[in-house]
Amino acid sequence: MPTRPQTAPASTERIRSRALLADADASCKAAYLQEELSGARVWRVGGVGVFAYAEDVRAERVRQAAWRDWSAVNGRDEWLQAARARTAVYINAHEQGRLRPLVRWHLVEEHEPLPADALPVGREGSGAVLYSARTWLAGGVEIGKCGTHTRGRSAFSYAGEELDVPFFEVLCGQPDVVEWVSFDRGTSANLPGWQPVEGARERRTQRAVFIARAAHEGGLQAGKCLVDDDHACIPSGGQESWVTPFEVLTYATLFRR
């Protein structure tokens, strides 16, 4: 595993650095996490919140509990409402020159085009570009892939199948902010010192779900990986494939998120 860069933030990033400290502290509080899930609170930086994995055990348990409690009484409609609220805040922040995460999830409604700043994360065997997608599926949030070339535009692996959903979020942002960490066959997805880009949480156990990719069927396919698992789950060919070796998407440094 490569050594984490420890470059100090540039002066132009001082405002973001202060926001990072404030949001990281706030995202350890259960009440604020519930506000995030309802769409009432939108973080200004990445790598914080319910869907961000915390290396600190106490913080991770708070996030797991927040997701467990919220998902027990809410469903697809509430998730969509929160996703719409987040996306609206991001769009307004961009238009008004205010702070927003350098990498973020942007809701794509049915029949809407993919955003211009969607972040490429892989490719089909044909060379078609793939992006990371997130949606509500089977009582929880799942990570998959999307593209302009696919029949349903999105594809998610769940319970051994490949499923498409007409509405989903797509990961957007700056390519230089992120980095892929590789895991060889037999190695578990454990990232001490790195901050994975926020993905999802497993419905039953609340374990963190990472954005992953792996070489498969002649392409570099996008999918998901649960923390501590030794494979990526890739939606392809109508089914869910477990693939190794694989990569997990992280922030390139702890300072620019």
Mean pLDDT over 227-236 rounds to 95
- In whole angstroms, give the CA distance from residue 90 to residue 92: 5
DSSP state of 122: E
Lowest-confidence segment of 30-34, 184-188, 197-201 by average pLDDT: 184-188
- Determine the pLDDT at residue 6: 47
Query: Does any domain span residue 135?
Result: yes
Q: Are 130 and 212 in contact (CB under 8 A)?
A: no
Half-sphere exposure of 44 (CA within 13 A, CB side): 17
Helix crossing, 76-96 with 30-38: angle to 10°? Answer: 90
User: How far, rounded to the nearest angstrom, does the alpha carbon of residue 64 sit from its chain's CA centroid?
Assistant: 16
User: For residue 187, which phi and psi values (nearest 5 degrees)?
Assistant: -100, 135
Query: Does any domain span residue 5?
Result: no
* pLDDT above 50 (res 9): no
Closest CA to 157 of 83, 222, 229, 76: 222
Half-sphere exposure of 230 (CA within 13 A, CB side): 4
The string over 175-207, giving b where at least 16 C-beta atoms fall within 10 Å of a residue's C-beta and e elsewhere, is eebbbebebeeeeebebeebbbbbbbbbbeebb
Query: Does any domain span residue 69?
Result: yes
- Determine the pLDDT at residue 12: 54
2 or 74, greater pLDDT? 74
DSSP state of 196: B
- In whole angstroms, give the CA distance from residue 232 to residue 107: 24
How many domains is the chain built from? Answer: 1
Query: Does any domain span residue 7?
Result: no
Query: Does any domain span residue 3?
Result: no
Q: 197-220: per-residue pLDDT in tens? A: 999 999 999 999 999 999 998 999
- Determine the pLDDT at residue 206: 97
Mean pLDDT over 135-144 rounds to 95
Query: Does any domain span residue 123?
Result: yes
Residue matched to tokens 């694989």: 246
Banded model confidence at residue 14, pLDDT cuts 50, 70, 90:
confident
Q: 82-91: per-residue pLDDT in tens? A: 999 999 999 9
- Determine the pLDDT at residue 11: 54
Q: Are 88 and 104 in contact (CB under 8 A)?
A: no
Query: Does any domain span residue 1?
Result: no
- In whole angstroms, give the CA distance from residue 206 to residue 204: 6
Contacts of 37 (CB under 8 A, 6+ apart): 50, 66, 67, 70, 74, 82
**Containing domain of residue 72, as a range?**
12-251
Query: Does any domain span residue 4?
Result: no
Which two structure tokens, joined as six digits, stand for 248? 């997990």
